[in-house]
């Protein structure tokens, strides 16, 4: 077990006892025709950070010290997600204000690579509210994984696409292999893939535009890196963030599960990220 994951689990136990951590209570919903997607129904009230009404205070400036896992540098800190979807769910945040809607920096990729070298897993990023972000302060999210554990329900499908043995999905995205995960070259490779995907997808470039030109999601694990361009945040009563494109969907009372069962998850994701 990586030291960051070990620290996150120990901090989680302490924070849950004090009430600083509020794990989301969910159950798996078996819905025929939706495999390999995993659907979970929210069993508690919708957390405040998932509601759209009204201005929100910045929970990361300052961050709750009871949720701090590790101070990585003068620029970044690793903290627990207050409303985790699993044990050890952590956020990588800058210690000073950086907008979620701005360009990710070389320092962001260096911090991510340093965490990943110790604690691998599924990373995801929602570029703004229209892409499913709940906070405007920059935060990249990590769901740690054991070495033999699949990163997400669509991990096998991503591997098949990279081998050329599976048709592309019906939305606008780029999927690239990673060759240097866990090495000294990881941060530079991540930054290069990020900027190449942004250019290829028409999202712009840091030297030409003050911020990306459209909402997008990032999903990455040690073997691959994916960028998805977003056209809307929700469909059929379902709010979709980056985890949707990893194969994880959250069902709430507003979700139209009849529509989902009739049309399927691929149609849902195409509706929010269609070409």
Residue-wise pLDDT tens digits, 161-177: 999 999 999 999 999 99
So what's the pLDDT on residue 147? 85
**Quick check: is 151 in a domain?**
yes
Place of tokens 């400036």: 61
* Domain annotation covers residue 104: yes
Q: How far apart are CA 255 and CA 246, in angstroms?
A: 19
Domain extent, residue 219, equals 3-51+58-135+146-273
**Between the CA of residue 219 and those of 69, 191, 203, what are the distances in Å?**
22, 14, 16
Residue 141 lies in a domain: no
Per the domain annotation, does 140 fall within a domain? no
261 occurs within a structural domain = yes
Cα(94)–Cα(108) distance, integer angstroms: 8
Q: What is the pLDDT of residues 201-225, one digit of tens each?
A: 999 999 999 999 999 999 999 999 9
Task: Calculate helix-pair angle for 3-18, 106-118, nearest 10 degrees.
Answer: 90
Residue 118 lies in a domain: yes
Domains held by the chain: number? 1
Is 70 exceeded by the pLDDT of residue 49? no
Please report the pLDDT score of residue 50 as a whole number. Answer: 53
Q: With bands split at pLDDT 50, 70 and 90, how would you rate the model's confidence at 68?
A: very high
d(CA 19, CA 151): 29
Whether 11 maps to a domain, the answer reads yes
Q: What is the pLDDT of residue 60?
A: 96
Distance CA 207, CA 99 (A): 17
Q: What is the CATH classification number for the domain harbouring 91?
A: 3.30.428.70
Q: What is the pTM of this model?
A: 0.95
* Domain-embedded: residue 239: yes
Sheet holding 216-221, edge to edge: 68-71, 76-80, 90-94, 140-144, 121-126, 216-221, 224-229, 173-177
């Amino acid at each position: 077990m990586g030291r960051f994951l070990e620290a996150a689990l120990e901090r989680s136990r302490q924070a849950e006892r004090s009430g600083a951590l509020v794990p989301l209570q969910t159950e798996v919903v078996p819905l025929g025709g939706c495999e390999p997607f995993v659907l979970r129904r929210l069993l508690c009230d919708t957390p405040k950070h998932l509601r759209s009404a009204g201005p929100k205070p910045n929970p990361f400036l300052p961050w709750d010290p009871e949720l701090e896992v590790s101070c990585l540098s003068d620029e970044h800190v690793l903290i627990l997600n207050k409303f985790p979807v699993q044990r050890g769910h952590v956020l990588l945040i800058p210690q000073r204000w950086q907008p979620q809607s701005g360009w990710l920096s070389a320092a962001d990729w260096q911090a991510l690579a340093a965490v990943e070298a110790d604690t691998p897993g599924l990373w995801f990023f929602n570029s703004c509210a229209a892409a499913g972000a709940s906070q405007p302060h920059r935060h990249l999210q990590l769901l740690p994984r054991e070495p033999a554990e699949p990163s997400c329900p669509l991990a096998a499908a991503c591997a098949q696409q990279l081998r050329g043995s599976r048709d592309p999905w019906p939305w606008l995205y780029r999927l690239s292999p990673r060759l240097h995960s866990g090495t000294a070259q990881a941060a530079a490779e991540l930054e290069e893939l990020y900027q190449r995907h942004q250019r290829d997808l028409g999202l712009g470039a840091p030297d030409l535009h003050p911020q990306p030109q459209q909402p997008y999601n990032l999903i990455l694990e040690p073997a691959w890196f994916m960028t998805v361009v977003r056209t809307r945040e929700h469909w059929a009563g379902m709010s979709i963030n980056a985890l949707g494109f990893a194969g994880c969907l959250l069902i709430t009372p507003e979700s139209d599960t009849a529509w989902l069962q009739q049309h399927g998850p691929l149609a849902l994701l195409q509706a929010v990220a269609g070409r």
